[in-house]
Amino acid sequence: MPSISNPGTFAERTQKSPREVGGGFVGGLRARDPFNGGGLMGVIARYREHLPIGPNTPEVDLHEGSTPLVESRNIARALGLKQLFFKYEGVNPTGSFKDRGMVVAVAKALEAGHRVLMCASTGNTSASMAAYAARTGVRAIVVVPSGEIALNKLSQALMYGAKVVAIKGGFDKALETVRELCHRYPVALMNSINPHRIEGQKTAAYEVIDTLGEAPDYLLLPVGNAGNITAYWKGFREYHAAGRSTRLPRMVGAQADGAAPIVTGQPVANPRTVASAIRIGNPASWEGATSARDESGGAIEAVTDTEIISAQIRLAGSEGLFCEPASAAPLALLFRLVQSGRIEKEATAVVVLTGSGLKDPDAALKNVEPPIELEGDARTLAKVLKL
């Protein structure tokens, strides 16, 4: 595993304070479209010149992207970190980062003449694809691993009108089945092996630099099917090549102990973790993830389910940000790396919170105190609450 102990600090990269730079929620407003009554710009409208969008590409937009980069007020101080930010992708239209890539993939599928979209999913991809299919009037088919998808995510796909099919086996079996079907029939495959998904997702890296004025020292994110770490690295490299940043971040990916094929170096036949979004045993973008890790001098490591839930609860209670379990995995890894001295205190780190906690609240609810029930007046209530 490459060392990540001597990256150089954010102060060495830029003299700009994040509060002096526009483009995000830190020191700026979300990108707005002056031709749409000042409405929010979607990914395609904001970054058209950086995307494979041509004159024949249909306009598709749910005002995805331009998500807030929230500065930590409490966790950074507790860790002794100079600067820590959370890229909160849970405010995208369907509640996860998937919308960034899906809008581009759907637009390109429509351009190619497809009227049926299909994906295998642990939840977030299905919700996103179904939403954009509904928006554009095409058919959506979702294949999920039986009994392994959070009900909140499944309900989204169903409400958006998708045909949902549950098959026995894990996500990897579902993806294998979908890939074979899309190869045989005129159906557009919408998983992250679709290169247009990566193109859309890379825009989150653009936003980080647009907001901070420079790349952070570290970018930490969960790794499941590994498309997102691949996309972020692509985006950072492209902005660097265009002169929009002077440095590249170290990419740090977090997998769950029971679903850590990249960490162990071999596929996991029966992945197990509370973090359903990264419960994947054979990532489709495995090579992209290891390239991002190795080229950036970063790391991909595993954390336990206990660490994940602890980080999720701490984030919500300390920063007011409720993320799904998979999103808490990189924060759990950040705790470990800072405490072991592998991330220095002068660093600027960005943790990507890939999805809203409302996507999969059951795991969190099992680890917090239930509501207090009592009968009585205000005095009784005050006594119980020790006011």
Distance separating alpha carbons of residues 23 and 9, to the nearest angstrom:
22
Closest CA to 160 of 182, 137, 186: 137
pLDDT band per the 50, 70, 90 thresholds, residue 36: low
Distance separating alpha carbons of residues 9 and 16, to the nearest angstrom:
13
Higher pLDDT, 363 or 16: 363
* pLDDT on residue 376: 76
Q: Please compute the mean of the pLDDT values over residues 39-51 and round it to a whole number.
A: 91
Distance separating alpha carbons of residues 32 and 239, to the nearest angstrom:
21
pLDDT band per the 50, 70, 90 thresholds, residue 4: low
* pLDDT on residue 12: 39
> 135-190: per-residue pLDDT in tens?
999 999 999 888 777 777 789 999 999 999 988 888 888 899 999 999 999 999 99
Query: In this structure, is the dihedral angle defined by the CA atoms of residues 121, 124, 127 and 131, taken in order, positive or negative?
Result: negative
Lowest mean pLDDT among 22-36, 217-231, 236-250: 22-36
Q: Please compute the mean of the pLDDT values over residues 38-62 and round it to a whole number.
A: 92
Q: Does the pLDDT at position 23 exceed 50?
A: no
Give yes or no on whether 10-96+197-223+234-358 and 98-195 have one common fold.
yes
Higher pLDDT, 190 or 17: 190
Q: Please compute the mean of the pLDDT values over residues 5-12 and round it to a whole number.
A: 40
- SS3 category, 172: helix
Distance separating alpha carbons of residues 285 and 279, to the nearest angstrom:
14
Q: Please compute the mean of the pLDDT values over residues 347-372 and round it to a whole number.
A: 89
Q: Does the pLDDT at position 14 exceed 50?
A: no
**CATH class name, domain 98-195:** alpha beta
Predicted TM-score (pTM) of the model is 0.88
Distance separating alpha carbons of residues 4 and 2, to the nearest angstrom:
6
Asked if 238 and 135 touch (Cβ cutoff 8 Å), the reply is: no
Q: Does the pLDDT at position 194 exceed 70?
A: yes
pLDDT band per the 50, 70, 90 thresholds, residue 16: very low
pLDDT band per the 50, 70, 90 thresholds, residue 225: very high
Which 8-state DSSP code applies to residue 356?
Answer: B
Closest CA to 68 of 364, 310, 351, 358: 351
* pLDDT on residue 27: 35
Average pLDDT over the chain, rounded to an integer: 89
* pLDDT on residue 33: 55
Closest CA to 227 of 369, 105, 77, 107: 105
pLDDT band per the 50, 70, 90 thresholds, residue 8: very low
- Give kind and range of the element (H or E) at residue 218: strand 218-222
Q: Does the pLDDT at position 365 exceed 90?
A: no
- Alpha-carbon dihedral angle through residues 177, 180, 183, 188, given to the nearest 10 degrees: 10
Tokens coding 254 = 């977090």
Q: Does the pLDDT at position 294 exceed 80?
A: yes
Distance separating alpha carbons of residues 211 and 138, to the nearest angstrom:
35
Closest CA to 102 of 203, 220, 223, 252: 203
Distance separating alpha carbons of residues 355 and 221, to the nearest angstrom:
11
Per domain, the residue ranges of the chain are 10-96+197-223+234-358, 98-195
CATH 3.40.50.1100 fits 10-96+197-223+234-358, yes or no: yes
Lowest mean pLDDT among 17-26, 200-209, 272-281: 17-26
* pLDDT on residue 192: 86
Q: Strand pairing of 163-167 and 39-40?
A: unpaired
Q: DSSP readout, 292-330? A: HHHHHT-EEEEE-HHHHHHHHHHHHHHHS--B-HHHHHH
